[in-house]
Each structure stands twice: as C-alpha cells, then as structure tokens.
Structure 1
C-alpha cells in the first residue's frame, strides 16, 4: 500500500505542475498583445515575464519559512490561490504596470509556493531514483504546455486576451484537488509535511567560490531559458509567421521535452553506463554548450521550417538536461543548500528587460537569441569548471572514513 501512496504523490505533483507551471510557462503568448493593447515597448513587455520568473526563484527562502509555520498543504493552497487570482485579475489590467503586479508578482510567487513544498515531499520519499522522479513530476508542465500555448492563442482570437486570461486563471484553480490528493497520499506515506527550523539563507556559502560560481552558472542558464520563452513567439511573428503557428513553436519545444525528460531522468539515475561513470555535471554542461550552438544559428533562419528544426534541436538539449541543475546542486553541495542557491540566481531576471532595451533600439527580435546563446555558453563552461573544483559530499565522507581506518589497520598489523 505504501508504494501505491508514493505513486499517488508522484501523480499529484505531476498534476500540480500541469495545472500551475503549465500556465506559468505559457505567458509568452501574451507578449504581442501587451505591446499592442497596452502600448508597451519590448522592454516593458519583457519586464512582466522577467519579474514573474525572477519572483519565482526569489521567494524560495520565504516558502521554506512558510512551510515551517503553516505546513506544506497550507503553503501550497495559498500559492495556488495567489497564482489563480493574479492571472484572473490580469484580465482587467489598464496598463502594463498592473501586469507587473498580477502576472509578475502574484503568479510568480504563487507558483513557487504551490510547487516547492511538492518537490520537498518528493525528496523525502525518493532517494535512489530521485533524478528520474524529479524529471517525471516536472514533466507535467511540459505536457500542459503543448495544448495550452495553442489554446491561449485560440482563446485570444475568440475571446480577446482578457477573456483568455480569465480562462487561464480557471486552469490554475483546478490545481486544488491535485494538491489535496497529493497531501493525503503523502500523509499515508508518513512524509513530514512541516519543514524543520533551519537557517533560511546560509551566508557562509558566500565564502565558497565554487558554490558562487555554480549559482552564477545556474543564473545564466535560467536567463537563457527565460529569453527563449519570452522572445521565441514574438520573433516568429516578426518573420510574418501566423500567430497560431508561432504559438505552436512553444508546443513543439514542450513535446520534445516530454519525450526526452524521462530518458534523461533514467540515464542520470544510473551510476555507470557501459562501464563509464555517469557524470551529471558533464551532461548538464554538454547540453548547455550544444544549446548555445543551436541558439546562435536561430537568428539566421527566416522560414518556419528552419525555425522549427532549430527549436527541436534546442529543445532536445533542454530535455537532455531535464532537472539536472537542481540534482547536480544536491550532488555537489548537499540538498540543504537549495534555498540559498535559488535566491542567488534571481539576478537572471535582469536579462529580458536589458535585452529588451537593445530590441527597442534596433527593432531586431533576433537579437535576444545571440544573448541567449552567450548565456548558455557561459553556463556550460561554468558547470564543468565547478565539477572539476568540487568533490561531492559522499566522496568527501569516503575520504574521511579511509583516513580514519588506515592507522587502525596498520596498528593491528604490527600487533
């Protein structure tokens, strides 16, 4: 029965990602309407999505505190309500500044509150296959992105962007039964649903150069992803591609992730493949470097087929990396460092509006992909460097054990 309850937790977290993070990732469809109907520049329109992604990472330490005081279930329900309320209120936005609050702050922070406790439950219940399970549960957002990107554009064409946002808010509200189901299944597994009191922001980590470098790499990697999510559809529209076909590019990205994430999760869960040791840092770094190469070629493609091919190639790299940024962080520094890392990498939210200034000045929507390629290149190199500088915690423990046992063995030999 316990195993079935664990399956229930996985299904519940998957559905929560499907209904909360899916709409979160689909906000790029509204980039053009924010420009046309609210009179926003590229910088101002991208700022809304930038605040949303930045807030999602910034409130990680706050969610830890909320879990300590209110428990996992209450934190998830508060987050789901805040996210749905933010999306629904956006339908009444009189200006782009209103969108900054509703989509940027409310949806960003609400999504983090809704899913972060879920990941904590998965971490408690699964150890050996944690990378594989993490990829399965995060797959929910990719599965929902396939229809939601297209549906959002269809809703915009049929009901206007305000009606579309109301419908998207209803999608988020449907996460309520998924959250309740997950918490009920977790309680039957005796999972601890209240975080222990611990240091929210570990300032001692700021003295660790490898840790800071890893956080910088994470930040650049996230900045690259945010730029693609923000400008891909708008770039396709600037080429004269139909709005629905342009929205379909995001669905293509999600579909490729759906195929590759389970494979990536399974492969990264193995210790060796064909007698070769699996190094998750190298997989992550290699995927980022390949993605950089494909992103660099995207601005030179001007037809839909060519753009779709490059998008598939980039999505394959994203799918190969999967949830490895978080998994590698735990491997190298320990899972207790996660809240601090999420807080540090929030500098990535500055990338879209800064790039938006360049787009406004040049009116070139291909420009963000050169920046994205550079960010991905920096991230890939840094991931590899950090792995060369840091010995994982379990290896360190093994060295200590060997150091302690060797003198004792030599003493016994002499005796």
Structure 2
C-alpha cells in the first residue's frame, strides 16, 4: 500500500497538536501582521506626504486581497497539498514585505504589500485552517480555538515590538524584520503532514452530507462520516481531474451552505465596525486618549479568552450537541452589544461593552470552521473555507467607509453602531430560522412516532 494512501483516523492529539501549533503561527504571521500594518500609517504619511485616505488603502488591500484570494489558497491546497500552499504563500508574503521595505511610492506599496503580501497570506490561511479539521473530531472546537488565538496573542506581542523596531530601525528596517518573521511560514508549511487514505476507498457522495442540514443539532456535531472524509487530497492526477471538473465545489449546491453564506455576509458587514470606530466614539464622548486605547487592549485580550475558553467549553459533552446554538448566541450577543453602545457614554460603561464584544467575537471566530465543517463535511472543508473567507472580503472593504459616511451625514456614531448591530442580529436570526424550519420539515423519528 502506498504511503500517501494510508488510512489514518483523526487523532484528536499526537501530531494533530503540531498542526494546531503551525496554524497558530500562521494566524500570527497573517492576521496579527495585518493588524500591525496600521502602526506604519503615520510613517507612510510623513515619508510620502500622503493623506490618511490614501494611506489607509494599504491596510484595506491587504485584508481584502487575503479574503478575495482565499479560494485560490483552497484550490492550491486541494490540487497539490496544504504543505505546498503554505510554503508558497510564506515565500510570496515574505518577498512582498521585503520589496515593500524598498518602496519609493504609495503605489508600489499598494502592489507589494497590498496585493503580493495579501495573496501570500491567502495561500497560507485557508489550507492551514482546513487541515486542523482533518486531525480533530471530538476536540475540534478547542483545536480551532487555540489555532485562531494566534491573531489576538500575536497582536499583543507584535504591536509594541513593531513600534520599537520602527523607532530603532525606521519603517524600512521594521518591514525587513517582519519579512523575516513571515518567512517562518515556510517552516510551518513543511510540518503540515497530510492524512492519507486507503487504496480503493470510495469517494463519499455529497448527497450524504446534504442529509445533515446546517441548523440541525446532533450529538458530537461532526459525524463519523466526516471523520472518514477528513483526509488529504487524492493523488496528483486524480486531484487535477477533480479540480477541472469542479468536484471540489459541489457543496455550493447545498441549501444549508447557501443559508450559511448569507449569514456570513451579514456577519462580515457588521463585525468590523466596532473595531474601527470604538476609539473615535470613546473620544467623542469625553474619554481620555489613554483610556480609549485601553478599550482596544481589552477587546484584544477578551478576544483571546473567547477563542480558548469557548472552544474548550463547546467541546464538553454537555454542550457538544449545541455547538450551532452556541455560535448563534455568540453572534447575537455581539449584535445586542452594538445596539446598546450609543447609550454608553462613559469609560465605566464602555468597559463592559469591550469585555462582552471582545469575548464573543473570539468565540464565534473559533466556531466558524466547525460550523462550516458541519454543513459541508471535512471532505469539502478546505474549499468551503475558501469561499467563506472570500465572502468576508467586500464587506470588510466597504463597511468601515459606509460607517464613516453615516457619521458624516448624521453627526454621531449612533447610526453606524445601530446598523452594525442589525447586521449581526440578522446573521444570527437567519441561522436560527433555518434550523427551526428544517426541524419542522424533518420526518419524525421512530421514537417520536
């Protein structure tokens, strides 16, 4: 039996924790580095003589390119392997930051940092996240919680470190150091060992996954069939045939995934606004600058706690049948917090908002891959995550400017936060309604009859 076709069940440990550690580093080198790009804004403005609007496009392009090209990362991972995708992405993103350190204009930064680095991040993020789901079944939520916590932990460590690097070596030197850091993605990619499958094992049909609707709760949340499908892609020739025939995207026909996609679009439209406008809002109601910055720190710390604790809690036996409900509650709590935010007009009242919003933001982020795996199965998880992150791209790009436009025409932040809350609550309501409808339409079980 060929080594690449060896059957290996999801381990829920062992080498799986190495995969989680690699995915943790991938989120540090992608999402945390992206957040830290804003630290360079003042340096870019003074060096190139640009205004804030022109400079802010660098951050928007990195974020948008990472999300828009997420399906490309899925295709590369499915056509070759997660190892190839992450190593190639690490090389591209490192080269992009290296070239950015020699840029002589903002236009060059748009290309090198915004497009090239963003493309590299896209090649890394989705395949690494999907491989975690292949190695874990019982403790999948906890594994993803640890993996995505790299975003918050990396931001806490990198933000002050990048500021010190800029002061010591200028922005060009700081980008060189970040380029070297991001090059470690190649090392992480080399450790992403795929799981094989037996020769002659039949490919499961998508119809089997279709029988597991998006909103249906069940013990364990992920079926044993998912575990059997949690395997690496087929041999190269077979993978290319599957790619060319579009087999990797058959999940797009699932009604459950269409509902999930609509929910994610609404979620992405509302979730980023508080991170952009919380500090300006706090300043507008008289909070001192240092305390306003502390609110963002609280958001980051609670985001980490949400990643870890919610992942651990939802893997407990008593909560495992209610993972989807837990996800919906986390999104709904964020929506309620945003609706109440215009009433909070002091630092003392804004601290509870930062605690609640930060914690539940980390909670739902940790559960996104788990919810997606429940709908499409692990066989299609890599491709599905690529589409899911692709759906975040345009809302991430447009929602902050739309929020700013509402502030301009209304003279307050109330409409911006209310709109964000409505989007988040609508995202939760769609999934809840879909789950309720599917339960009502489901045939009665033998026990019920």
The TM-score bracket by the shorter chain reads 0.7 to 0.9
1:212 to 235, 255, 258: 258
Q: 2:403 aligns with which of 321, 344, 355?
A: 355
Alpha-carbon distance change, 289 to 66 in structure 1, aligned in 2, over 3 angstroms? same
* Cα separation, partners in 2 of 1:260 and 1:269, compared to 1, 3 Å: same
- Cα distance in 2 for partners of 1:222, 1:341 equals 10
Counterpart position of 2:114: 104
| Residue aligning to 2:64 | 54
SS of 1:279's partner is helix
Q: Partner of 2:436 in structure 1?
A: 388
User: Match of 1:411?
Assistant: none
Aligned positions of 1:363-374 closer than 5 A: 368-374=416-422
CA contact (8 A) 1:131 1:324 kept: yes
CA contact (8 A) 1:202 1:340 kept: no
Task: Indicate whether 1:263 and 2:309 are aligned.
Answer: yes
Does the C-alpha gap of structure 1 residues 242 and 341 become closer, same or farther in structure 2, counting only changes over 3 Å? closer
> Which residue in the other structure is 1:80 paired with?
90
Secondary structure of the 2:14 match is helix
Q: Output one character per residue of 1:115-167: Cα deviation in whole Å (capped at 9) or x when no partner.
A: 32222322222222222211111122221121223333444455554444443
The answer on whether the counterparts of 1:42 and 1:360 sit within 8 Å (CA) in structure 2 is no
SS of 1:127's equivalent in the other structure is coil
Distance in 1 of aligned mates of 2:143 and 2:254 = 32
**Is residue 86–residue 188 contact of structure 2 (8 Å, CA) maintained in 1?**
no
Change (3 A) 1:312 1:169: farther
Q: Is the 8 A contact 1:43 1:352 kept in 2?
A: no
**Alignment partner for residue 192 of structure 2, among 183, 199, 212?**
183
Contact 1:50 1:353 in 2 (8 A): no
Q: From the superposition, tell whether residues 390 and 130 of structure 1 become closer, same or farther in structure 2 (CA, over 3 Å).
A: farther
Contact 1:25 1:145 in 2 (8 A): yes
Q: Offset of 1:315 from its aligned partner?
A: 0.6
Q: Is the 8 A contact 1:156 1:163 kept in 2?
A: yes
Q: Aligned partners of 1:143, 1:155: CA distance in 2, in Å? A: 18
Match of 1:343 among 390, 400, 403: 390
| TM-aligned CA deviation for residue 327 of structure 1 | 1.6
Where 1:10 maps in the other structure, the secondary structure is helix
What is the Cα deviation at residue 59 of structure 1? 1.8
Residues 1:310 and 2:353 aligned together: yes
Question: Any conservation in 2 of the 1:91–1:162 contact (CA below 8 Å)?
Answer: yes
In 1, are the aligned partners of 2:90 and 2:184 still within 8 Å (CA)?
no
CA contact (8 A) 1:257 1:315 kept: yes
Quote the residue 2:298 is aligned against.
252
Partner of 2:314, secondary structure, is helix
Matches within 5 A, 1:124-273: 124-156=134-166, 159-180=169-190, 182-183=191-192, 194=233, 196=239, 197-198=242-243, 199=246, 202=249, 205=252, 208=255, 210-232=256-278, 241-242=288-289, 249-273=295-319
Q: By how many angstroms is 1:62 displaced?
A: 1.5
Distance 1:218 1:143, change over 3 A: same
Q: Deviations over 1:91-120 (max 9, x none)?
A: 455555444333432333211211322223
Contact 1:35 1:41 in 2 (8 A): yes
Structure 1 gap segments, 5+ residues each: 407-415
